[in-house]
Amino acid sequence: MAIFVILFLVLFLILIFQIIRLIYFAIKKKELSKEVKKTCIVFLCNIFAFILVGITVPESTKNAIKKEEELKKKAKEAKETKKKVDKEKKQVKLASQDDLKYEVLKNSRDTSNLTKKENTIDILVKDNISEENLKKVMRKAGKEQIKDADILFIRAYGDKKFFNLGGETHGMITYYPDGTVKNETYTAKKEIPSDKEKDIYIDYSKTLHETLKSKGNYTKQEEENIEEKINKKIAKKYGISPEEVEKIFDKVVIYQGM
């Protein structure tokens, strides 16, 4: 654009110079009439105006194009932002729906109660489920699983590894056919042990339980000696120190809610 303007000016300057020169000689020799002189002057003014427009129009056009590009850019950014927000909302909604899914691990009936039908179900929920969604999913399970029972006890677990280990990890409620909920206990987890930490805890607990069971009678000191021996055995098995085994044990005990 700049080169074009320069060439444009050079050409017109040459033209103007020639015209001025022509008029000069014509006036000096008095060979042109007043009307012709007037026409030449107007012609010169028009040429100057044309040059001025030729310089200013491209600049204004450039500004207009730049402004239009900026508006398009802002519109595109706004569209992308809206698209991103909508996507995040959709993901949150899907995640929330996923939290409300559960798996029935066991459904049993207590036949000792001859007056009422009492059922107990153990369900698996997401390990990192929030307390709000934990309440929702347990009530949902109650509504869907109550069927012909008069009372339904619902126990929730976040990991199948802890099923039948003694105590539900994520809570328990008592559900009735009319939707009433009693004895509510919800234990959503703030910190979840890794799979390896869970395995170490379960391995330690089962080994200790089986060892003490096989021994039968034992003193407090004997129990402590057995615990220390198993601690070292588990530490060696998993390539960690006995102190780390103790820390993992305490961490998982808190997770299990014991």
Tens digit of each residue's pLDDT (9 = 90 or more) over 92-151: 555 567 788 999 999 999 888 878 899 999 999 999 999 999 999 999 999 999 989 999
For 83-103, write each residue's pLDDT tens digit. Answer: 776 665 655 555 567 788 999
- Do 206 and 174 have their domain in common? no
Residue 5 lies in a domain: no
The residue among 159, 186, 213 that closes a domain is: 186
Please report whether residue 246 resides in a domain: yes
Q: How many domains does the chain have?
A: 3
Q: Do 107 and 167 belong to one domain?
A: yes
In a domain, 48, yes or no: yes
174 with 214, same domain?
Answer: no
pLDDT tens for 214-251 read 988 889 999 999 999 999 999 999 999 999 999 999 99
Model's pTM, two decimal places? 0.61
The pair phi, psi for residue 166, each rounded to 5°, is 105, 90
Residue 24 domain-assigned?
no
Query: Rounded mean pLDDT of 5-20?
Result: 62
**Higher local confidence (pLDDT), 47 or 234:** 234
Residue 163 lies in a domain: yes
- Residue where a domain terminates, one of 144, 163, 186: 186
Length in residues, the chain: 258
What local confidence, expressed as pLDDT, does residue 96 receive? 61
Provide φ and ψ at 109, rounded to 5°: -120, 140
Helix (H) or strand (E) holding 119: strand 118-124
Residue 223 lies in a domain: yes
Q: Same structural domain for residues 66 and 95? A: yes
Answer yes or no: do 46 and 116 share one domain. Answer: no
Note whether 107 and 181 are same-domain residues: yes
Of 186, 212, 244, which marks where a domain is finished?
Answer: 186
Name the band, by pLDDT with cuts 50, 70 and 90, for residue 166: confident
151 within domain boundaries: yes
> pLDDT class for 6, splitting at 50, 70, 90?
low
Check whether residue 110 and residue 94 sit in a common domain: no
Rounded CA-CA distance 118/145 in Å is 12
Higher pLDDT, 21 or 151: 151
Strands 151-157 and 118-124: parallel
- What is the pLDDT of the chain when averaged over all its residues? 81
pLDDT band at 9 (very low <50, low <70, confident <90, very high): low
Q: Answer yes or no: do 116 and 158 share one domain.
A: yes
Instruction: Write down the pLDDT at residue 68.
Output: 75
Helix spans in the chain (H): 2-29, 34-99, 131-145, 195-215, 220-238, 242-256
**Exposure of 125 in the CB half-sphere (CA atoms within 13 A):** 33
In the prediction, which pLDDT does 26 show?
A: 61
Q: Are residues 61 and 125 in the same domain?
A: no
Tell whether 169 is covered by a domain.
yes
Residue 155, domain extent: 103-186
148 and 122 in a single domain? The answer is yes
Same domain as 117, residue 91: no
